[in-house]
């Protein structure tokens, strides 16, 4: 008599072996998705860090407030701060200019007198609020003096209105600025202004 065979049990064992294989496949897919999400997160963080190093932005709330108060483009204020100090607080130039927008004590005293800042003391220039307020006030004055011409206003901010008048005033063209330092400064601010508008439109309220 031929002994009974057990072929019916073999498919069950094969199916049992297949189940762990499918679980491993599912976990592998989940692992890949999680790894992809992690890479995307790290890449976004890295990209943001690179942007902050190359084109930093700080005190955007003060910049927006001063821009609204003085009728200025916030990206222009940000660009001047970038050119003057790269948003590093506490800087003092060889000429004694202070803070984020590099305001000299004599200039600050004049602005305080013209703007009614009776409580102003020179130590206030170390605070971002006061420094950006005074720098924005000066920018507004120069723009008004040169009928809105940005190149002339920036030349005056860097080299003084006397020099900007001498070089052509409201008719000044960047390429005609004879001082290389001032010409490069104006070019740098104009370029940075465009970049701030492109990269930080939301932060600057544009």
Which tens digit of pLDDT belongs to each residue from 71-92? 999 999 999 999 999 999 888 8
Round the average pLDDT of the chain to a whole number and report it.
86
Q: What percent of the chain has pLDDT over 90?
A: 67
Query: Which pair of tokens denotes residue 135?
Result: 């720098």
**Which regions of the chain does DSSP assign to beta strands (E)?**
none
CA trace torsion 11, 16, 17, 19 (10° rounding)? 120
| Whole-number Å distance between alpha carbons of 140 and 73 | 10
Which residues, listed in sequence order, are joined to residue 92 by a DSSP beta bridge? Answer: 98
The answer to whether the beta carbons of residues 78 and 196 sit under 8 Å apart is yes
Which tens digit of pLDDT belongs to each residue from 15-66? 555 566 677 777 778 777 777 667 656 654 544 555 556 799 999 999 999 9
Q: Which residues are catalytic?
A: 84
Q: In terms of C-beta density within 10 A (0-12 exposed, 13-18 middle, 19 or more buried), how is residue 85 classed?
A: buried
């Amino acid at each position: 008599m031929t002994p009974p065979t057990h072929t019916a049990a073999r498919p069950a064992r094969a199916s049992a072996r297949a189940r762990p294989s499918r679980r491993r496949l599912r976990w592998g897919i989940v692992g890949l998705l999680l790894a992809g999400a992690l890479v995307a997160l790290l890449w976004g963080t890295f990209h943001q860090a690179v942007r902050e190093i190359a084109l930093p932005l700080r005190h955007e709330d003060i910049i927006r407030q001063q821009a609204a108060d003085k009728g200025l483009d916030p990206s222009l204020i940000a660009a001047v701060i970038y050119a003057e100090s790269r948003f590093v607080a506490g800087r003092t130039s060889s000429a004694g200019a202070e803070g984020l927008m590099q305001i000299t004590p004599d200039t600050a005293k004049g602005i305080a007198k013209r703007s009614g800042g009776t409580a102003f003391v020179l130590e206030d220039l170390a605070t971002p609020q006061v420094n950006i307020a005074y720098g924005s006030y000066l920018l507004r004055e120069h723009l008004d003096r040169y009928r809105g011409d940005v190149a002339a206003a920036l030349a005056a901010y860097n080299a003084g209105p006397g020099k900007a008048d001498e070089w052509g005033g409201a008719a000044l063209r960047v390429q005609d600025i004879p001082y290389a330092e001032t010409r490069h400064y104006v070019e740098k601010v104009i370029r940075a202004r465009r970049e701030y508008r492109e990269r930080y439109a939301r932060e600057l309220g544009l």
